[in-house]
Copies of this chain bind each other. A is one copy, B any other.
Amino acid sequence: MPSAFPVLERHLFGPGPSNPYPEATAGLGLPLLGHLDPEFLRIMDETCSLLRTAWGTSNARTLPLSATGSAGMEAAFVNTVTDGDVAVIAVNGLFGERMCDVAARCGAEVVRVDHEWGAPIDPERVAQAHPNPKVIAAVHAETSTGVRSDIEALGQLKGDALLITDAVTSIGGIELRADDWGIDVGYAGTQKCLGVAPGLAPFTINDRAFERRITTPRSWYLDLGLLGGYVGTGGGGGRTYHHTAPVAMVVSLHAGLNRVLDEGLEQVWARHAEAGQQLQDGLQEMGLELFAQEGWRLPELTTVKVPDGVDSAAVRALLLERHNIEISGGAGAYAATVWRIGLMGHNARPDAALLMLAALKDVLARV
């Protein structure tokens, strides 16, 4: 069994993970602390506080779940719906699809509102899909299509329902205001615009949703009633042991969030907007056609149509081999006809956009 492997330095310009901020990488390598060490508890408290800023929320129950973003989705549903509850789910890509699967496994009666892939959700149609759902769920930034949807408008129309929002690819990259927009439950990932390695799911739930939660959810690991004690927001002031926190990942997230918030959230959003615009302009100047609907394109994740006669996989392989650049194919039915190019987090920079454009030109001339 060979134990050595080459150390590759990739430009991670796909839909995530992105290259972490150097501070986040340095955080991973620090001497490990115990999960109950007073110093670690302080770092965890600060991390939850920093996450509140990133979410735009004052929710006490804001924390990094100890698993990846997909577990955040599961936590959102398993804590809010059970057998027979109605869940209206907006579907305009892969992650909306996945929500339907996850909610159904929790026992929910899923009312699925389909949209064309590449288009945003229609908040009115979603809000009118059922007279009295327990939850309404939508994806803010669809990683599969590169499309933003208007969560604020959906929040205004949600009525009595709880609004669940997938912010995996939006947090730290584009405007996100959980409280102002009426998001009751939100989940995200660390490995996109927050610029931290994958492994945690930033999560937030407000009092309104917490009070209506399933008190003994099917999942022990993701039970928010128990997890409040774990991060010291369960009331009573104390901490209760739940599971061993993934200490190194939390310390890394703490470092990454500090980097982002030291720069300033609005400045970081502007940097993503600028890099994305530069990339999208450049791609169109090369004669390529963008996939996501104009006006709803994510700056942090660009979808572009593979030109006729070009072998998508060959281009991706040559980008990787020749330039150490990773981009991704499309999702689902668009696997071979769309590329997904992300400039997220630390990669939302003019030099990264230039390199991406130049490398794609180079490779398209060779295949």
Chain A residues with CB under 8 Å of chain B are 1-3, 5-10, 12, 14, 16-17, 19-20, 25-26, 28-39, 42-43, 46, 49-50, 66-71, 73-74, 78, 98, 101-102, 105-106, 189, 191, 197-199, 216-221, 242-249, 255, 258, 261-262, 320, 326, 328
Name which residue of chain B comes closest to A249, CB basis. B199
Counting chain B CB atoms within 10 Å of each CB, the highest count among A2, A42, A43, A221 belongs to: A221
Whether B37 contacts A326 by the Cβ 8 Å rule is: yes
Whether B32 contacts A1 by the Cβ 8 Å rule is: no
What separation, in Å, do the CA atoms of A10 and B36 have in the docked complex? 12
A30, chain B: closest CB distance, angstroms: 6
Q: A66-B68, A197-B247, A244-B16 are known contacts. Are A34 and B10 too (CB-CB below 8 A)?
A: yes
Q: A5-B43, A67-B221, A68-B246 are known contacts. Are A29 and B31 too (CB-CB below 8 A)?
A: no
Whether B197 contacts A32 by the Cβ 8 Å rule is: yes
Whether A245 contacts B29 by the Cβ 8 Å rule is: no
A91, chain B: closest CB distance, angstroms: 16
A5, chain B: closest CB distance, angstroms: 6
Whether A29 contacts B25 by the Cβ 8 Å rule is: yes
Q: A28-B28, A30-B7, A39-B6 are known contacts. Are A105 and B1 too (CB-CB below 8 A)?
A: no
Residues of chain B with a CB closer than 8 A to A255's CB: 3
Whether A10 contacts B33 by the Cβ 8 Å rule is: yes
Name which residue of chain B comes closest to A102, CB basis. B220
Dominant secondary structure of chain A at its interface with chain B: loop
Copies in the complex: 2
Whether A199 contacts B246 by the Cβ 8 Å rule is: yes
Residues of chain B with a CB closer than 8 A to A43's CB: 5
Residues of chain B with a CB closer than 8 A to A37's CB: 8, 10, 320, 326
Whether B244 contacts A198 by the Cβ 8 Å rule is: yes
Name which residue of chain B comes closest to A329, CB basis. B36
Name which residue of chain B comes closest to A326, CB basis. B34
Whether B34 contacts A197 by the Cβ 8 Å rule is: no
Partner of A9, one of B31, B49, B244: B31
A-B contact sample (10 more), CB < 8 A, given A3-B262, A67-B67: A28-B248, A68-B245, A68-B246, A69-B243, A71-B221, A105-B217, A197-B246, A198-B246, A199-B246, A199-B249
Residues of chain B with a CB closer than 8 A to A248's CB: 28, 197-199, 249
Q: A66-B68, A221-B67 are known contacts. Are A14 and B32 too (CB-CB below 8 A)?
A: no
Name which residue of chain B comes closest to A5, CB basis. B43
Whether B219 contacts A219 by the Cβ 8 Å rule is: yes
Name which residue of chain B comes closest to A16, CB basis. B244
Whether A26 contacts B29 by the Cβ 8 Å rule is: yes
Whether A198 contacts B35 by the Cβ 8 Å rule is: yes
Q: A49-B1, A261-B1 are known contacts. Are A17 and B220 too (CB-CB below 8 A)?
A: no
A55, chain B: closest CB distance, angstroms: 15
Partner of A219, one of B2, B9, B16, B74: B74
Residues of chain B with a CB closer than 8 A to A198's CB: 35, 244-248
Whether B326 contacts A220 by the Cβ 8 Å rule is: no
What separation, in Å, do the CA atoms of A28 and B255 have in the docked complex? 15
Partner of A106, one of B101, B189, B218: B218
What separation, in Å, do the CA atoms of A16 and B216 have in the docked complex? 28
